[in-house]
Amino acid sequence: MTSSVDGLVSGLSTSSLISQLMTVEAQPQTRLKSKVTTAQTAVTSYQSVNAKAAAVKSAGDAISQLSTWRSIKATSSSPSVTATTSNNLNATTGSLTFNVTALATKQFTSLPVDTTIEDKGVDANNKPVKGPIDITDSTKITVTKGVFDNLGNPTGDTTTVDIDITADRSAAGIAKAINAANTGLSAYVMKTGDNAGVLQISSTATGTANGFVISGLEDAGLGPASSTTWAEDASIKVTGGGGSTYELTSSSNTFTGLMAGVTLTVSKVEDGVTVEVANDSDAIADKFQAMVDAANAALAEIGTQTAYDASTKKGSPLTGDFAVREMSQKILSLISRGVDWSPEKKATPPIDVSGEIHTLRDLGIQLDSTGQLSFDRAAFLNTYTSDPGRAQKAGIRFGDTVEALGDSMTTNIKSIILNRNNEISTINDQISNWDVRLAARREALQKEYSDLEVALGKLKDQSNWLAGQLAGLS
């Protein structure tokens, strides 16, 4: 690239002149950059509107889901029994009375041990080593896992794992080896005196299936069933018809499957617990409230992005976009039309829908004086309580319509965003091409002014020579 030095001969600031000329030359590129900035601002606005439209679609989908209308809630008569529910299509309502007869527990096995510190010989540097006394001569212990009776006899299938303890036969060493074996057991030494302690071994999970027997420590005083509190399953007795009872067990304190969609967690042995399961109308109402909130948020965002301030004569990024402004009318028209039963009316022969819900007011939805949607929870609950099936049918139909509208809006906006991004990409390519053209033009101007300085320098030299010659003649 040709460089220039400000007019050494001419006295002109050529770098300033070139910069000013380049500003003029770059005006087409500047206009392109401004166009990109405007387009990017519009894309951001489209994305903001699209997020609100997507929320409308999602809210409509939630209302149309059968699982929403199968929502249930469970209440327990006892604070020690927690009842939770899920949106299970097979969920049922009803009442369940039972006694909690046992809680799930872990197995605990204890072995009194000597923790005396004794000489262990010398290390590699011939220095004395001290450590806890060995409690066994065994080289390994064997963990047998399964279900056992109170004498330590297996009552079903078992699995065994051998654990090497030759590195450290002290109580602490054995506990460390058990913990490192990942057999579902944990162990530690609890100090009970100056030279005495207890090797405590327990299962990490509750329930009879997680019982265990340890062999290999018999010479330390641990027999198959000695000093053991065996694991238990949680148990409840359900009262049935005619005074009959049914016992159910769980390896944890949680019971599932007693009633579809209901999970019970017990924490205390007690009698006469009652769990009531009923339809959760409030949860359904929450879905309608969420839809109304989503629609209002969409209307507000559209209004913001298309607003025009007459006093300042300034618009917003999407002021002139008819497609976005029309979205508001579509949302409001959806509410004014109510529940759409036109497919049934157009069927051959037509299906009688005179007994169905037609106005959204019956579902608690209406337009207020500000053009916003409002939700009357009490009105909805009254309709639902009077005839749940009728409310469900209308609600699902309306939810489908809302979802379809939301899908249409997001599809259209995504198409607009794609086109705008393609336009921005094309303009950016043009801007890059202008970078090359402007760089070449700057180089040409720098060469032109540099050549001018050289020419002026030669003329000055010639002038000085002629002046010298004339001075000599005189």
- The pLDDT tens digits of the residues spanning 104-154 come to 999 999 999 988 988 877 777 888 888 889 999 999 999 999 999 988 899
pLDDT of residue 18: 79
Dump pLDDT digits (tens) for 92-107.
888 999 999 999 999 9
Distance separating alpha carbons of residues 382 and 357, to the nearest angstrom: 13
Q: Find the range with the poorest average confidence among 10-19, 33-42, 333-342, 361-370.
A: 10-19
pLDDT beyond 70 at 72: yes
Q: Where in the chain is the domain with CATH 1.20.120?
A: 27-67+283-433
Residue 224: the pLDDT is 59
**pLDDT reading at 189 higher than 50:** yes
Mean pLDDT (whole number) for 71-88 = 90
pLDDT at 9: 59
Nearest to 154 by CA among 215, 197, 205: 215
* Residue 281 reports pLDDT greater than 70: yes
Q: What is the pTM of this model?
A: 0.71
The pLDDT tens digits for 17-51 are 878 887 888 888 889 888 999 899 999 999 999 99
Q: Which two tokens stand for residue 56?
A: 């409308």
- In CATH terms, 27-67+283-433 corresponds, of 3.40.50, 2.30.30, 3.30.70, 1.20.120, to 1.20.120
Q: What is the pLDDT of residue 332?
A: 92
User: In the numeric block, which tokens belong to residue 28?
Assistant: 């087409």
CB-CB contact of 198 with 190 (8 Å)? yes
- List C-alpha distances in Å: 121 to 75, 171, 174: 66, 19, 20
The dihedral through the CA atoms of 402, 407, 412, 418 has a sign that is positive
